[in-house]
Structure 1
Amino acid sequence: MTSIVTISGGLSQPSSTRLLADRLTTAVRGELGEQAAGEVVELRDYAHDITDNLLTGFANQRLRQVLELVDRADGLVLASPVFTASYSGLFKSFVDVLDPESVRSKPVLLAATGGTERHSLVLEHALRPLLSYLRAQTVPTAVYAASSDWGNDTELGQRITRAAGELAAAVRARPERAQSDPFTDPVPFEQLFRNTTAH
C-alpha cells in the first residue's frame, strides 16, 4: 500500500487550504490507483502539541503519531496559507519539529492559498527553499490557489492534475526503503569477542 500524507496548515474552519489539500490528495490517489492510501492532517488540531514540542524538545503521544505518519509516508503534500508574504507560523513550527531525515529524498508536492494572485511567488521564494534545505524531492509543479480561483477553477484543476501526476510519478520511481531492523543481520559472537580481546 502506497501512503500519501497531506499536511494542511490552514487555521480557519472551513479552510481554503484544507479544500485545496483535499483536492490534491484525491488527485494523487487517483493517479496512483487503488493501492494508494491518503491521510490529511490539519495542523490547527495540533497547535498546542507543536508549541509544547518547541518549548520542551519532546513530542507528546498525539504529535508523535503525526511525525511517524510523515516518516512512513511514500509521498507528501504540504499546503500552507500565505501570511505576510510567506508560509504560516504554525506551518513553519511543524517543520521545525520534524526530523529532517523523515523528509530527506522524499517526493513532496507544495501548495499554498492566499487572497490574491500576487502571493503565488511564496511557493518559489519561501516554500521550495525550505524543503530544499531539508533535501526533500519537490516536484516541479507547485499549486497556488487565490480566492478568484475557486469561482472558475478550470486552470486550477489543470495545475492540480499536473502536480498530482508529477508526485505520483516520483513516488513510483522512488526505490523501496529498506527496513532497518538491527536483529535481521546480527554480528557473530566470535567477531564480537575478537573485537573486545584485541585491545
Structure 2
Amino acid sequence: MKRTLAVVSAGLRLPSSTRLLTDRLAEAAGHELKQLGAEADVSFVEVRDHGHDLVNHLLAGYPSPELRAVLDTVAHADGLIAVTPTFTASYNGLFKMFFDSLDDTALVDKPVLIAATGGTGRHSLILEQALRPMFTYLHAAVVTTAVFAAPEDWGAGETAQGSLAARIGRAARELAREVDRWNGPSIEDPYDNPTPFDRLLAGE
C-alpha cells in the first residue's frame, strides 16, 4: 500500500539545520512505513519558495496556481511532518502564514509530527507552547514525540541516551503507525443530514 507524506520545512536559508532535520525525519518516517509494509511517497514543501505567494494570498484571498497545488499536497497527504526554526520563542512568520492559508478542515484527524530547530536547547518549549497548540486547534492528530534540535545535538554521539537520532527514530515510528492505520478525516458533511424546514421554523 502506498502512503503519502507531506513534509513542510520553514527554514529561511539553504542549507539550514531546519532542512537537515526535515530530511532526517522524512527518511526515518519512510523507513518505518516500509517496515510496516507501506511504500512512502514523500513530497517536500520549502515554504521560503512560496513566501511572496503566501503574502499575496493572505492579502487578496486567492492563491496562485503554484501555491494552490502545494496546499492541496498537504491537505491530501496521509501524514504531515512540519518543521520550523525558532524565532522569538515561537515558529517563524512564514510557517504561520503557510498553515493560515490551509482550509480549516485540511488537517482534521491527520497524523502530524512536529519538530523545530533553535540556537539553544532552552528554546525546546516551542514544541509544547506554540506548535502543539496550533495543530491541536486545527484538529490534527499530533504524535506524542516532538523533536527539537539545538546546535549541540548535531555533535552528540548517536548512541547516547536521549540523542537526536533516538528522538527522530521514536517520533518516526509513532508517525508511521498512525499513518499506516489512517483512513482519512472523520468530517461530517452538514448537507448529509439536513434539518427539515418545518423543524427549523419550529425553532429546533
The gaps in structure 1 that reach 5 residues or longer are 179-199
Distance in 2 (alpha carbons) for counterparts of 1:174 and 1:42: 25
Superposed CA deviations along residues 80-134 of structure 1, whole A, max 9, x for unmatched, are: 0000000001100111111121101100000000010000000000000000000
Matched, 1:156 2:156: no
Which AA in structure 2 matches 1:16?
A: S
Matched, 1:174 2:182: yes
Give the alignment's TM-score, normalised by structure 1: 0.87
Q: Give the equivalent residue in structure 1 for 2:101.
A: 97
Distance in 2 (alpha carbons) for counterparts of 1:24 and 1:176: 22
Contact (CA 8 Å) 1:22, 1:40: kept in 2 or not? no
Larger Rg: 1
Deviation, structure 1 residue 5: 0.7
Contact (CA 8 Å) 1:114, 1:146: kept in 2 or not? yes
Contact (CA 8 Å) 1:5, 1:69: kept in 2 or not? yes
Change (3 A) 1:66 1:141: same
Instruction: Give the total of aligned pairs.
Output: 178
Distance in 2 (alpha carbons) for counterparts of 1:134 and 1:177: 12
Contact (CA 8 Å) 2:5, 2:43: kept in 1 or not? yes
Distance in 2 (alpha carbons) for counterparts of 1:7 and 1:175: 22
Q: Give the equivalent residue in structure 1 for 2:71.
A: 67
Which one of the candidate residues 96, 102, 127 is aligned to 2:131? Answer: 127
Q: Give the equivalent residue in structure 1 for 2:195.
A: none
Give the alignment's TM-score, normalised by structure 2: 0.85
The within-5 A match list for 1:14-93 is 14-33=15-34, 35-93=39-97
Q: 75-84 or 27-36, which moves further after superposition?
A: 27-36
Which one of the candidate residues 107, 111, 115 is aligned to 2:111? Answer: 107
Q: Give the equivalent residue in structure 2 for 1:9.
A: 10
Distance in 2 (alpha carbons) for counterparts of 1:108 and 1:96: 16
Q: 12-21 or 145-154, which moves further after superposition?
A: 145-154
The gaps in structure 2 that reach 5 residues or longer are 187-204
Distance in 1 (alpha carbons) for counterparts of 2:89 and 2:157: 23
Deviation, structure 1 residue 177: 6.2
Contact (CA 8 Å) 2:10, 2:48: kept in 1 or not? yes
Structure of higher RCO (CA pairs closer than 8 Å, 6+ residues apart): 2
Q: Give the equivalent residue in structure 2 for 1:138.
A: 142
The within-5 A match list for 1:181-196 is none
- The Cα RMSD (Å) is 1.2
Give every structure 1 segment of 4 or more consecutive aligned residues whose post-TM-superposition deviation is greater than 6 Å.
Answer: none
Contact (CA 8 Å) 1:79, 1:112: kept in 2 or not? yes
